[in-house]
Amino acid sequence: MSRFRNVLLVAALAALAAPAIAQTKATGLGRPALPEEIAAWDIDVRPDGAGLPPGRGSVKLGEEIYLERCASCHGEFGEGAGRYPVLAGGAGTLNKENPDKTVGSFWPYASTVFDYVRRAMPFGNAQSLTPDETYALTAYILNMNDLVKEDFELSKENFASVKLPNVGNFFDDDRETSEKAFWKPQPCMKDCKPDAPKILGRARALDVTPDSKTGPRVE
Ligand code: HEC
């Protein structure tokens, strides 16, 4: 009996150890990614400019490329054709009922524009833009939002000098401090209200259900 138990124990230990052994052995599938493949994926640009490729592009050149490759969807002035996204305007609307969230009114960093355009636009032909074209388009979008002048040229070197107006409204999650007052380490999970709930009104008494005479006509 005890021998049988030992056999079981050994079998169980072997089963536990098996995945660990499998993980350390090469699977024999695939191959290491080539540096060029990693470089093709590694295209993110951070707010401090890290990740920007060398290059430059003017508002003027950006306008030319924009009219050719972007305006059909985003409108000649960034106003958005049909239901395509608006890229310019909306300043001062963020606290209104229908805020116009654009690069100029809402986005925190110019790097987001560069990164997004380079990664995803023009829609349907993503990643077809050269670094210089992306600099030029970013410059033009900033210009449409009155954030840089018409003779501005954006480059890797001066990128960090561009500040977007809404940057101050983006901050790290601060709930641990700002909401500390109503955070309870041990929240009540049972019988938390001392009294039974009180019914303050009834839908029928409030007369919220339209009757056949006053309610909307349904054909
Ligand atoms: C065929 C239509 C089309 C074309 C052409 C196009 N876009 Fe877009 N663009 C879109 C759509 C659709 C979205 C939204 C995509 C989403 O939310 O997933 C978008 C989103 C964007 C945004 C983000 C807007 C926001 O506030 O979320 C930017 C910036 C942008 N496009 C820039 C460009 C630039 C620059 C070009 C030209 C190189 C371009 N687009 C060409 C359709 C287009």
Digit-coded pLDDT (tens) for 108-145: 999 999 999 999 999 999 999 999 999 999 999 999 99
Task: List, for residues 170-200, the tens digit of each pLDDT value.
Answer: 999 998 888 888 888 888 888 888 888 888 8
CA 122–ligand 1 middle distance (angstroms): 6
**Cα end-to-end span (Å), the chain:** 81
Residue 44 CA to residue 143 CA, distance in Å, equals 23
Q: Is the peptide bond before 32 cis (omega within 30 degrees of 0)?
A: no
Q: Is 74 in the pocket of ligand 1 (CB under 6 A)?
A: yes
CA 38–ligand 1 middle distance (angstroms): 25
Find the mean pLDDT for residues 85-91. Answer: 96
Task: List, for residues 5-33, the tens digit of each pLDDT value.
Answer: 555 444 554 555 555 444 556 788 999 99
What contacts 144, CB < 8 A, 6 or more positions away?
77, 78, 87, 88, 104
Residue 100 CA to residue 91 CA, distance in Å, equals 8
Residue 200 CA to residue 119 CA, distance in Å, equals 55
Question: What number does the ligand 1 atom closest to the CA of 101 have?
Answer: 26
Q: Is 69 in the pocket of ligand 1 (CB under 6 A)?
A: yes
- pLDDT-above-90 percentage for the chain: 66
CB 139 within 8 A of CB 153: yes
Q: What is the pLDDT of residue 93?
A: 95
CA 116–ligand 1 middle distance (angstroms): 9
Please state, as a whole number, how many other Cβ atoms lie within 10 Å of the Cβ of residue 105. 20
What residue owns the CA closest to ligand 1's atom 25?
Answer: 85
What residue owns the CA closest to ligand 1's atom 26?
Answer: 102
Residue 73 CA to residue 122 CA, distance in Å, equals 9
Residue 143 CA to residue 13 CA, distance in Å, equals 67
Smallest CA-to-CA distance from 101 within 112, 114, 110, 92 is with 92
Task: List, for residues 194-203, the tens digit of each pLDDT value.
Answer: 888 888 888 7
Q: What is the pLDDT of residue 217?
A: 64
CA 98–ligand 1 middle distance (angstroms): 21
Q: What is the pLDDT of residue 169?
A: 94
Q: What is the pLDDT of residue 199?
A: 87
Question: What number does the ligand 1 atom closest to the CA of 66 have?
Answer: 37
